[in-house]
Amino acid sequence: MSDDDSDAQAWGRGQWWLDPSLESHPDCIKVIGLDGALLHMNGAGRTALQTSAEDITRGVLWVDLLPASARGKGRRALVEAAGGAPSHFLGRTGDPDGRATEIQRWDNLLVPLTADDGERRILCVSREITYAHVRNNAFGLDDARGAETGQEQRWVDGFSRLVEHVEESGSVPPSRHVTADGYRLGAWMMAQRSAHKEGRLSPRRSAALASIPGWQWGRPGHSSWTDGVAALTQYVDRNADGAPPQGFVDEAGYPLGKWVAYQRQRHRLGALSSARIAALEAIPGWTWSVRETGWDRGLTYLTLHMVENGGRLPARSLVSADGFPLGRWAHYQLQRLRAGDLDPTRARQLTGVIGTAGG
């Protein structure tokens, strides 16, 4: 007899739950006798309740497989369904210590059935609603105006994107992550961590974020280092310069300027490993001296500006495309030149660039 013929006979006998498509269904599907014995459970159900097909053949009671906190609700729902009325209850599975990253929340629906063979049974469908619960907690915002304000809407949007990413990938994205539609999700996460550290994040939002599997309030050291090196390498590729300004933030929202300054500080204190020192020194344009870097960079930008603009000095407010305050830098150096405060070498370099424009 073919598998198709076997399936057809199972349906004909009212054993529709043996259909292979239900075995692989993501919802937990169970068939329960009126006495509470578990008659059948699909793969998702066996995984969630940590039981096997052999347990089912031994007539194990469905309620006994539930977490202790849900058994009372399960018994009441079973009685209602056995009496002919659909019933419903919420429950959760997870470690007894209640760690949020381990907990799964379930919506359980019990429906009385009368099969083709005339025997009454109970169908129980359990659907995981962990992320829906997290969203509900997050969207029940402390602000009485809810999501009516633009600020609340932006937070809800960021949180929803984070949950969707974790649902799809199984992990929290790195701090430089940008979604396919250009949303800087990594930057949004960093803003939440900063707000939490400074006590500006509401308890409800903090709890919602903490309940996401893999969420961390601090930036893991390895991830932070990796993100920084990647951002600096990309910066060098685009700007032919290994020294971004201290306030520079890249298009993904990563504070590259602060990261570079922090690495220099750790190097001065002798707290940077030899491997990381070597990695930074291998990046074109890297320097440990921010002062020398600032001068060389400013002089280069000023030279380019003078050539491109017919020898005219930049306006004091001019800022380069990558954030360098060229106008302010140039006028400050010119002021020092006139006051005789520049060392001879730098004075000659600056004079050679500006010529008579400096008056």
Confidence of residue 234 (pLDDT cuts 50, 70, 90): confident
First CA to last CA across the chain, in angstroms? 102
| Mean pLDDT computed over every residue of the chain | 75
The residue-averaged pLDDT of 234-261 equals 76
pLDDT for 181-232, tens place per residue? 888 998 899 889 888 888 888 887 887 788 777 677 775 444 467 778 888 8
20 or 72: which carries more pLDDT confidence? 72
Q: How many CA atoms lie within 13 A of 93 on its CB side?
A: 14
Judged by phi (left if over 0) then psi (alpha if -120 to 50, else beta), residue 90 lies in beta
Distance CA 250, CA 176 (A): 9
Q: Is the pLDDT of residue 5 over 60?
A: no
Q: Select, from the ranges 81-85, 91-95, 204-208, the one with the highest average predicted confidence (pLDDT).
A: 81-85
Among 72-81, 209-218, 273-282, which stretch is predicted with the lowest mean pLDDT? 209-218
Instruction: Give me the phi and psi of 313, to 5 degrees please.
Output: -70, 150
pLDDT at 100: 36
Q: What is the pTM of this model?
A: 0.36
* Least confident range of 34-48, 232-246, 297-311: 232-246
Query: For residues 77 and 72, what is the distance between their CA atoms, to the nearest angstrom?
Result: 9
- pLDDT at residue 144, as a whole number: 36
Report the share of the chain in percent with pLDDT over 90: 1
User: In this structure, which amino acid lies at residue 337?
Assistant: L
Distance set, CA 113 to CA 22, 78, 83, 119, 234 (Å): 17, 13, 11, 8, 62
**CA 211 – CA 153 distance, rounded (Å):** 20
- Given the structure tokens 């578990």, which residue do they identify? 38
Amino acid identity at 335: Q
Return the pLDDT at 315: 92
Query: Which of the two residues, 252 and 3, has the higher pLDDT score?
Result: 252
* Distance, CA of 29 to CA of 124 (rounded, Å): 6
Whose structure tokens read 């000659």?
348
The pLDDT score that the predictor gives to residue 17 is 58
pLDDT at 42: 86
Give me 156's structure tokens. Answer: 């809800």
Q: Sheet harboring 38-41: ordered strands across?
A: 38-41, 28-32, 120-128, 104-114, 87-93
Give the pLDDT confidence score for residue 96 in this predicted structure. Answer: 40
Q: What is the pLDDT of residue 131?
A: 55
Neighbours of 343 (CB within 10 A): 9
Query: Does 99 have pLDDT greater than 50?
Result: no
Q: How confident is the model at residue 4 (pLDDT cuts 50, 70, 90)?
A: very low
Is residue 63 within 8 Å of 52, Cβ to Cβ? no
Fill in the DSSP letter of residue 227. Answer: H
> CB of 272 within 8 A of CB of 278?
no
Q: Give the amino acid at 15.
A: Q
Exposed (0-12), middle (13-18) or buried (19+): which is 331, by Cβ within 10 Å?
middle
User: Using one digit for the tens of pLDDT, what is the confidence trace for 128-177?
Assistant: 766 555 555 555 444 433 444 567 778 878 888 888 787 777 678 887 78
